[in-house]
Amino acid sequence: MKSEGEAGTVRILVVDDEPSIRKTLSTNLARHGYDVDTAETGYEALDRYSRKKHDLILLDLGLPDIDGLEVIQQVRQRASTPIIVLSVREEEHAKVAALDLGADDYLTKPFGVEELLARIRVALRHTVQQAAPSGGLLRCGDLEVDLERRRVRVAGEEVRLTPTEYELLRAFILHPGKVLTDRALLQAVWGPEYGSEAHYLHVYVARLRKKIEADPQRPRHLLTEPGVGYRLISDEA
């Protein structure tokens, strides 16, 4: 699964203040075909990023100089480069804040390398898809959303959704693979004045699952990220 590598080497920036993590990750990622660059501090990361425009950033939140959250903010002001947050901060608020600021995914330390490689692949595919929306028709596994006609098919079968359910699914399909926080989803679907009414969201996610999942109890598309939000994945990841 190194399809991304073909179109030119994918450049990844690893930002972590721990030398051993930087070393291990760069050795490993380099062997998986990525071009790896490392930074020890937040400022160094921003400096390197502004010069090399990496395709993906692996970012530790606890940096010695500026907070990782600030790095996300600064990068997001300029580009939508996928950012995967690596953090030992298990507190929900740090993760949620990172995702709200525009991080694409998070991994809690300690993590396995296979898991990391999988997340990197998902985040990169998501950028590729965003770059080329095929004529208003978005696909995610056997899920197909026609943005122009507002139609949804699951495994070829047409599914009827209410307007709110459709808006919710649209928010997911525009960011496949990305973790969307409760707040981000509420604001995308219900409007900017919403943010803390998570129970609306949970009700609608449950309804949406009944319509698009073969087994709503064990969802394959619409996954819950406990305490954070939801994520739409295609089962081929």
- Tell me the CA distances in angstroms from 134 to 14, 27, 131, 173, 174, one per residue in order: 32, 36, 9, 13, 12
Residue 128 half-sphere exposure toward CB, CA atoms < 13 A: 13
β-strands 143-146, 151-154 pairing = antiparallel
Contact 20, 8 (CB under 8 A): no
Range in contact with another protein (rule: CB under 8 A) among 63-71, 75-83, 191-199, 204-212? 63-71
Is residue 192 reached through a cis peptide bond, with omega within 30 degrees of 0 on the bond before it?
Answer: no
Which residues between 9 and 28 bind another protein (CB under 8 A)?
Answer: 18, 20-21, 23-25, 27-28
According to the binding rule CB under 8 A, does residue 63 interact with another protein?
Answer: yes
Residue closer to another protein by CB (options 111, 206) is 111
According to the binding rule CB under 8 A, does residue 32 interact with another protein?
Answer: yes
Number of residues counted as binding another protein (CB under 8 A): 27
Q: Least distance to another protein from the beta carbon of 236, Å?
A: 18
Contact 84, 120 (CB under 8 A): yes
> Which phi and psi (to 5°) does residue 79 adopt?
-155, 165
Residue closer to another protein by CB (options 112, 192) is 112
Residue closer to another protein by CB (options 18, 146) is 18
The H or E element spanning position 53 is none
Q: Least distance to another protein from the beta carbon of 72, Å?
A: 16
Which residues between 167 and 206 bind another protein (CB under 8 A)?
Answer: none
Cα–Cα distance between 160 and 1 in angstroms, integer? 35
Which residues between 83 and 142 bind another protein (CB under 8 A)?
Answer: 86, 88-90, 109-114, 116
Q: Which residues bind another protein (CB under 8 A)?
A: 18, 20-21, 23-25, 27-28, 31-32, 62-67, 86, 88-90, 109-114, 116
